[in-house]
Amino acid sequence: MSTQASLYDEVCRVLIAMLGEDGAARQADLSPSTPLQSLGMDSVRYINLLLSLEGIIGKELDEVAEYIDLSEIITVGDLVTLVERLRDLLWESDMSDSELEMQVLMPSEEDIANYQRNGYYVSKQILSDELIAAAREGSERLYRCEYDERFAWSDNPRVDPNFGVPFTDRSLTRADGYASFHSFGLRDLARLPIISAIAATLIGAREIRYWKDQLIYKPPARGTAENEGVIGFHQDKRYWATCKSDRMITAWIPLHDCSTQNGCLVMIRGSHRWRNNHALVTFDEKNMDFIKAKLINTEGDELVEVPLELKRGQVSFHDCYTIHGSYANLSDSPRRTLSVHLQDGENRYRNLNFLSKEKPVFQHSHDLICRKAANGFPDYSDPEIFPTLYSVAADND
Ligand SMILES: O=C(O)CCC(=O)C(=O)O
């Protein structure tokens, strides 16, 4: 805190010096939320200001230019955060270029606080065009039933039922599990280090393991059926009753720009705190009004829908209790996305079979294919099915 306060003072000192006498007069009313524009900043002044801060940053501006986005520096507080990040980057002198780049793309303290408050986060543009193109190509291959790799369970209808719809049928919205096992292009995306590193940062986990994925295809709505293509508001965790963890998190990866026009993901702000929503196993329910009016228990809060409009290369993250869904695709092109669901390293299998002795009440398809732990229960750390994608220990090696 004291370091942050003194950095703030140092940055203000430079700012005021740069503004000259006018700046000195404003010193008293400067605060972290003061818009820089209200101080008469234009882009030339911004650059000069940053140049004046080189001494505090500890490096010449051109060496860190690629990590600076002027459009993100709106307030005095943003400026201080930027200076702090640039300084932190450069203290890590043994970092490789790719590690430095990764650090710049990570969520800030403020982003983490917002994730905790709202239950979701939208990343910067973290995916390359090549990676997305390979994932799209991989998904097309799958829709032609061309698998890059097969497993003993690949044809087991209880593991990957595709809701009984053959891969080649894309007339209606479809969600295909285990896609990242069967396609290398999708696997590279699902297991991308920066995605799991962001997830770990958002939930404060030391380890992230893959949990599952869904390749979702939402064709343009044909107009006749009003709710066609709707993915009902639901809570992911309701599908994962056998998981002990309450900190699971989903990375939602569009393979192109996503907007309300083509049925982007919609979050209900702050709903990750609404835990009395056991009915929300409603991915397949098409009537959003019914879900909102009859099923969602807002626990006294206001229900606020937030459409997440993303540019290609951005990824959104949501808490396993955040209520979310999506409306119809009203564009002319299919909406293509990959949802990657992640578990923290502490997640374990939870045995709910006491509810019925004859037949498991809750059985995830993973339970049929993963190895068993010493107690005979499914082992949710089986590296074949749940590879570790991030770990602090590995990072420090
Ligand atoms: O893609 C959608 O519209 C829904 C995705 C979803 O439910 C998820 O990623 O958890």
Q: Tell me the per-residue pLDDT of 31-72, one tens digit each, with 9 for 90 and over.
A: 899 988 888 877 788 888 888 888 888 777 877 887 888 888
Cβ–ligand 1 distance for 120 under 6 Å, the answer: no
Cβ–ligand 1 distance for 180 under 6 Å, the answer: no
pLDDT of residue 84 exceeding 90: no
Range 156-180 average pLDDT: 86
Cβ–ligand 1 distance for 216 under 6 Å, the answer: yes
Cβ–ligand 1 distance for 83 under 6 Å, the answer: no
What's the pLDDT at 218? 95
Weakest mean pLDDT among 126-130, 244-248, 354-358:
354-358
Range 110-114 average pLDDT: 95
What's the pLDDT at 91? 54
Range 280-308 average pLDDT: 95
Range 202-213 average pLDDT: 97
Distance 341 CA to ligand 1 centre (A): 10
Atom of ligand 1 lying closest to residue 324 CA: 7
Cβ–ligand 1 distance for 132 under 6 Å, the answer: no
Q: Are 250 and 236 in contact (CB under 8 A)?
A: yes
Give the dihedral of Cα atoms 293, 298, 302, 303; nearest 10 deg. Answer: -50
Amino acid at 204: G
What's the pLDDT at 1? 36
Give 258-288 pLDDT, tens digit per residue. 999 999 999 999 999 999 999 999 999 999 9
Atom of ligand 1 lying closest to residue 175 CA: 1
**Closest Cα to atom 4 of ligand 1:** 325
For each of the domains in the chain, give its residue range(s) and CATH number, in order of start.
2-105 (1.10.1200), 118-396 (2.60.120.620)
Task: Go through the chain and tell me how many residues it has.
Answer: 397
pLDDT of residue 13 exceeding 70: yes
Q: Please report, rounded to a whole number, the percentage of residues in the chain having pLDDT higher than 90.
A: 62
pLDDT of residue 119 exceeding 70: yes
Query: What spatial distance separates the first Cα and last Cα of the chain, rounded to whole Å?
Result: 29
pTM of the model: 0.77
* DSSP class of 259: -
Q: Give CA separation, 366 vs 92, 244, 316, 349, 375, in Å.
A: 40, 15, 25, 11, 17
Cβ–ligand 1 distance for 310 under 6 Å, the answer: no
Q: Are 343 and 230 in contact (CB under 8 A)?
A: no
pLDDT of residue 6 exceeding 60: yes
